[in-house]
Structure 1
Amino acid sequence: MRHYLNVYKTLLKLNFSAIIAYRSGFVSSIISTCLWGTFQIVWVLLLTGRVDSFYGWSKVELIFLTTNYVFIIVGLFHLIFSRNFDRFSAIIDKGELDLILLKPMDSQFLLSLWYFSFANLFRFVIGVPIIIYLIIKMGISISLMNIISYLVLVFFSMLLMYSIWLSFSTLMIWFPRLSNITTLLYNINGVSRFPPEIIYELKSFILLFLIPFTLLSAVPTKSLFQKALSGDVILLLFLALLMFYLSRKFWKFALRYYTSASS
């Protein structure tokens, strides 16, 4: 474990060195990611401009749900994982996976954590004071236990999101040019910023596929409001652990069918 932590520390230093070398690109990334997050909040304000509640969620709760999704959960995901999943297709298609498999490290670890998007750290930093402001505005009494449960559920939301991305990205072992699959996942994941009650009303088979996405932001948000149902919390924890286990097994299975670029 210590060896992996040291390797990750080295990777962080290399990523930081890249920022120093390409400062203008870093600044533009900060501006674009923060503007995108701000636009999402403005969009919710416009959507709820003439209503006090939406599917049982007050206007402030909806803003909190969106902030939690855009700035915290997705912000952390982009910070740690996004760049790595975006390069999956190129690595496999160009045969660069060969070099990773030859290293004395777990291939999933290296592929998942090689790049670190420091620009999205600013999105997360902006999101925290917004959430604190919204909590004060709603007059909610937050205990230390509420904060801990919220952070734990955010972690499991991240774990579930990572596992879904890894599962679909693993398909590139067989279809290396399937690079648009991550874009599709980002679009589908957009349902997380809406109240899950909207999705539940679909009463369609498609709901089974969307259920994990509806839990990502709603469950941590409700836990902070002390409105989370125990069933939803258990479902999030169960799906996160199950998907992580299955995605890991699927990755190991897929590597058996990887064709080396040198063969």
Structure 2
Amino acid sequence: MSRIVHVNGEFLPEAEAKVSVFDRGFLMADGVYEVTSVLGGKLIDFAGHCLRLARSLRELEMTNPHTDAEWLELHRQLVARNEIVDGMVYLQVTRGNPGDRDFAYPAADLPPTVVMFTQSKPGLAESPAAKTGWKVISVDDIRWGRRDIKTVQLLYPSMAKMAAKKAGVDDAWLVEDGFVTEGTSNNAYIVKGNRIITRALSSDILHGITRAAVLRFAVEAQMEVVERSFTLAEAQEADEAFITSASAFVMPVVQIDGKDLGTGKPGPVAARLREIYLDEMRKAAV
């Protein structure tokens, strides 16, 4: 059965979906995106994704093509049309098609290009990896300086993920000036003496929607949270570590650059936070 996608106001079979070769998203990576998880046919933390989408568009001086209510309806229609129970909805907005290739974009707003599609991931929340944990390697962080904007400029994160795959591990942590910034597509944390440590928000890292929820739940569970930078060496000496993202939720990290953390197995803090996050998000899902 052909997947139904959404392109510029139309719902189409994926084989019929088309975007101009002159679209600035294709030529210049001039666009932003969001990925919202679906559990039990409902959208997880949807309001947070709408807020970050609006911020990303604002930072690139692009107009938001839809209200939050309109975005919600589009997401729900895609979920229903593709009969998604567990999975994800991918949303991308680019500056559009100026008619020809040019580094400078027009001062007046172009009609944006909106692309949306679903991915079915049965049992998304029951990932076996949550029981065994991820192994990661470190790579130099050489991305551009506005990592807080969720743009479609994903070449280097893709290269870092491939480096991890070639090394036989699950992901890579990006390191700049000796300090861990984040994972390739997730926020990074360590736990030392029951203290959760994660880099503070800035232009250096993505303002993770899952990150915000998990830190809120951690505080509510009377866990201590410290927002500061940490070194790779400090991470390797941590009691445990984990990452957060919209699709992996809370995922334990058990090894960094070949060195086991703690017992080499998922720790209690990551396990508890994953349990709390999934429980609370399912209750609040739309």
- TMscore range, shorter length: under 0.3
TM-score by length of 2: 0.24
More strand by share: 2
TM-score by length of 1: 0.26
Of structures 1 and 2, the one scoring higher in RCO (CA 8 A, sep 6+) is 1
Structure showing the higher helix proportion among its residues? 1
